[in-house]
Chain A
Amino acid sequence: MTLEAVQAGATPTGRGGVALAWRRFRRNPTAIGSALVLLLVVLACFPGAPLWVDVACHHGPAFQNINGYVTQNGHRVPVVANDGTPIGPGWRACYLLGADANGRDLMVRLLYGGRVSLEVGFASALVCVGLGLLIGMVSGYLGGFTDSILSRLMDLIWAFPVYLLAVALATSLALGGLAIGPLRVSSTSLAIPILVIAVVYVPYVARPIRGQVISLRRMEFVEAAVAQGAGPVRVMISELTPNVASMTLVMLTLIVANNILTEAALSFLGVGVPILTPSWGNIIQQGYNLIVTAPALTIAPGIAIMLTVVSLNVLGDALRDALDPHSKVRVKV
């Protein structure tokens, strides 16, 4: 706005918080870079996976080819050698990254596995942050008896060693599935790892939200809303939620990163994603015993995990700087 315009009586147009945050975010090259990498990973896994199958080899992720052959430099090479060693990476459309012990295409499995890993990571983070937001807000705003009950519950989950709790829940659920009233979840459903991972990290979200809400509930704008007759639900939705939104968004990004790692760890222990569904963790778990003869089976999915998680962590860091430069939100990974 020029000086003349102001003198002519125009009101200065302020920038909203979102616009300011977007400007800070845009000026951070690492933030843009990490967002692009993440976008690339998502594109490669979701539209990219069937596209790759169509273009390259027409083998799905579950297609086994133990007795098959591929052509490499004009030679016919077995996909899985007689001694059980699968073919390694090479410049060819089929088996670009090599095969696994059952002659399945690692590249195809990596792309389809990425779908599952990203789905589990995002879905469990959404459930986890949703639950954490609800519990943190109710417990911080209502206080008193509700707060003590919910806080003790959070303490309990917090004290439970994360992997042992996840493992105990996942093993028993994987055996029998889950049946709460009319709700039935089969034991091979992806909902089981999603729920397990979501539950174990709820305290990591609920605690900081609760702290934030406790300091917000004494503020004038909340008192004003209450004086106007707003009930607790209304205050929470229209007064408190906007004030913890940026904190929640940052936590969501970091929790997704954390949950992708947890999915991999649980699948590696054999209690994560059901064994027949490829996920990055499952591919490592199934390829790990061939690490000496076929290291690509272990190394490639690990690199995919790292790439995704690094970009999510950098993105979360940048979002925090952009949205809330003074906040101290941290997620333990």
Chain B
Amino acid sequence: MFQFLIRRLLGLVLVLFAISVMVFVIFNVIPGGDPALRLAGRHPTQQNIIQIRKQWGFDKPLYQQYADMMDKLFIERNLISYQNQVQVIPTIEAGIPRTLSLALGAGAIWLFFGVVIGVLSGVYQGRWLDRVLTVLALTGVSIPIFWLGAVLLYLLTFQYHSLPIFSWIPPGGYSPIGHPLAWAEHLFLPWIVLAVVSIGFYARVVRSSLLDVRSMDYVRTARAKGLSSWRVLTRHTLRTALIPVVTLFGLDLGAAIGGTVILIEPIFGLEGVGQYAQASVANLDLPPLMALTLYGAFFVVIFNALVDVAYAWLDPRTRV
């Protein structure tokens, strides 16, 4: 196990390195990405541009620029944005509790409802409940989430005035400690919106996995022993059927924290990491985008590794 962890950790560093090089190359080699032109303002003189190149080190060779950026990001931790010269790392750190609040809450919701709906439609396979739930799940999977957020926000706040909250900052900050109810109330709508797509997807996965497992020999044995169908479902079938869900949940949670929030946070003005990413994209601001991409990839890769560990623990056959 220890060796496995070391190997994964090494893999993580390699992947992050490769990703950082990719981001750097995407922004520097492809034409039009010259940051000096953007820093120089609207009508720069040639002299201005040359001066800015020198001052920010854009005249150095690319590998040197890359090394400088990594040094500022990881060692000196004083990377600043090209756009507004704000420190990148404190801005990201301020956003993390908001983004984690959003993603973890939504994750809990989609896991619970996805499994419940999937089990119901698997148990009642072929009946009307299964058909209704299948249509609902497929509809959920097909909604553009940013659109759902915008429309729900419009209906609830402007049409029916049932959401008195225009600021999405709960009184206790973005932490469930202290004011758990206020925290949940303020984040409820974003949670639902982020969760809807995954609920549909998980329901489909759980349903098909349940149907696969139900026809296995050991389940038939359990039934033949005379166990109640409830006991067979909870003790025998579900245990195996939920293994793929563990994998998916890990990957999706990583992807949500690392990327999907970019679509939700700007709608609700949550000002987390996703909204920062969206703003940096709009300004083509390389330093924050570099930091944010590495941050996102970090979560994706970490959750990937966690999934492997969990898998080895749940399914002894993979522990070779």
Q: Chain A interface (Cβ within 8 Å of chain B)?
A: 30, 155-156, 158-165, 167-169, 171-173, 175-179, 187, 257, 261, 264-265, 268-271, 281, 284, 288, 291-292, 295, 298-299, 302, 305-306, 309-310, 312-314, 317, 328, 330, 332-333
Extra 15 A-B pairs, beta carbons < 8 Å, given A269-B263, A295-B151: A163-B262, A163-B263, A164-B258, A164-B259, A164-B277, A168-B289, A172-B32, A176-B30, A187-B32, A257-B142, A261-B144, A268-B147, A298-B151, A306-B139, A333-B141
Q: Is the CB of B142 within 8 A of A261?
A: yes
Q: Is the CB of A177 within 8 A of B31?
A: yes
Q: Is the CB of B263 within 8 A of A171?
A: no
Residues of B close to A269: CB separation below 8 A: 262-263, 278, 281
Q: Is the CB of A156 within 8 A of B31?
A: no
- Selecting from B19-27, B83-91, B169-177, the interface stretch reads B19-27
Q: Is the CB of A310 within 8 A of B144?
A: no
| Cβ of B233 under 8 Å from chain A | no
Chosen A-B contacts, 23 in total, with CB atoms closer than 8 Å, are A160-B22, A160-B293, A161-B255, A161-B300, A167-B262, A168-B289, A172-B30, A176-B30, A179-B31, A257-B142, A269-B263, A270-B282, A291-B150, A305-B147, A306-B143, A306-B144, A309-B142, A310-B138, A310-B139, A313-B142, A330-B204, A332-B248, A332-B252
Please, what's the 1-or-0 string for B1-41, where 1 marks a CB less than 8 Å from any CB in chain A? 00000000000000100110011001100111100000000
Residues of B close to A302: CB separation below 8 A: 143-144, 147-148, 151
| Cβ of B146 under 8 Å from chain A | yes
Q: Is the CB of B31 within 8 A of A161?
A: no
Given contacts A159-B301, A169-B26, A177-B32, are A306 and B281 in contact (CB under 8 A)? no
B169 CB to nearest chain A CB (Å): 22
Q: Is the CB of A330 within 8 A of B205?
A: yes
Residues of B close to A187: CB separation below 8 A: 32
Please, what's the 1-or-0 string for B243-279, where 1 marks a CB less than 8 Å from any CB in chain A? 0000010001001001110110000000000000110
CB-nearest residue of chain B relative to A292? B158
A257 to B143, CA, bound (A): 11
A103 to B292, CA, bound (A): 39
Q: Which of A156, A161, A288 has the most CB of B within 10 A?
A: A161
Residues of A close to B208: CB separation below 8 A: 328
Chain B residue total in the interface (Cβ 8 A): 52
| Cβ of B237 under 8 Å from chain A | no
Given contacts A177-B32, A284-B147, are A156 and B142 in contact (CB under 8 A)? no
Q: Is the CB of A305 within 8 A of B144?
A: yes
| Cβ of B110 under 8 Å from chain A | no
| Cβ of B195 under 8 Å from chain A | no
Dominant SS among interface residues on chain B: helix
A273 to B121, CA, bound (A): 38
Dominant SS among interface residues on chain A: helix
Q: Is the CB of B300 within 8 A of A159?
A: yes
The residue from B23, B138, B150, B151 contacting A314, defined by CB atoms under 8 A apart: B138
| Cβ of B296 under 8 Å from chain A | yes
Residues of B close to A270: CB separation below 8 A: 281-282
CB-nearest residue of chain B relative to A309? B142
Given contacts A164-B258, A171-B281, A265-B146, are A333 and B201 in contact (CB under 8 A)? yes
A305 to B139, CA, bound (A): 11
Given contacts A164-B296, A264-B144, are A299 and B151 in contact (CB under 8 A)? yes
Residues of B close to A284: CB separation below 8 A: 144, 146-147, 150
Q: Is the CB of A168 within 8 A of B293?
A: yes
| Cβ of B73 under 8 Å from chain A | no
Q: Is the CB of A178 within 8 A of B30?
A: yes
A-B CB proximity, top 5 nearest: A176-B32, A161-B259, A175-B32, A176-B31, A161-B296
Residues of B close to A155: CB separation below 8 A: 15
A125 to B248, CA, bound (A): 23
Q: Is the CB of A164 within 8 A of B292?
A: yes
The residue from A160, A173, A310, A317 contacting B30, defined by CB atoms under 8 A apart: A173
The residue from B15, B154, B252, B281 contacting A271, defined by CB atoms under 8 A apart: B281
Given contacts A159-B304, A172-B27, A302-B147, are A313 and B281 in contact (CB under 8 A)? no
Q: Is the CB of A306 within 8 A of B142?
A: yes
Residues of A close to B277: CB separation below 8 A: 164, 167
Q: Is the CB of A168 within 8 A of B255?
A: no
CB-nearest residue of chain A relative to B153? A291
Residues of A close to B150: CB separation below 8 A: 284, 288, 291, 298
| Cβ of B284 under 8 Å from chain A | yes
| Cβ of B119 under 8 Å from chain A | no
A297 to B248, CA, bound (A): 35
Residues of A close to B292: CB separation below 8 A: 164
Residues of B close to A288: CB separation below 8 A: 150
A168 CB to nearest chain B CB (Å): 5
| Cβ of B241 under 8 Å from chain A | no
Please, what's the 1-or-0 string for B100-131, where 1 marks a CB less than 8 Å from any CB in chain A? 00000000000000000000000000000000
A288 to B149, CA, bound (A): 11
Q: Is the CB of B258 within 8 A of A161?
A: yes
Given contacts A268-B146, A306-B139, are A175 and B284 in contact (CB under 8 A)? yes
A298 to B301, CA, bound (A): 35
| Cβ of B297 under 8 Å from chain A | yes
The residue from A177, A261, A313 contacting B138, defined by CB atoms under 8 A apart: A313
A147 CB to nearest chain B CB (Å): 17
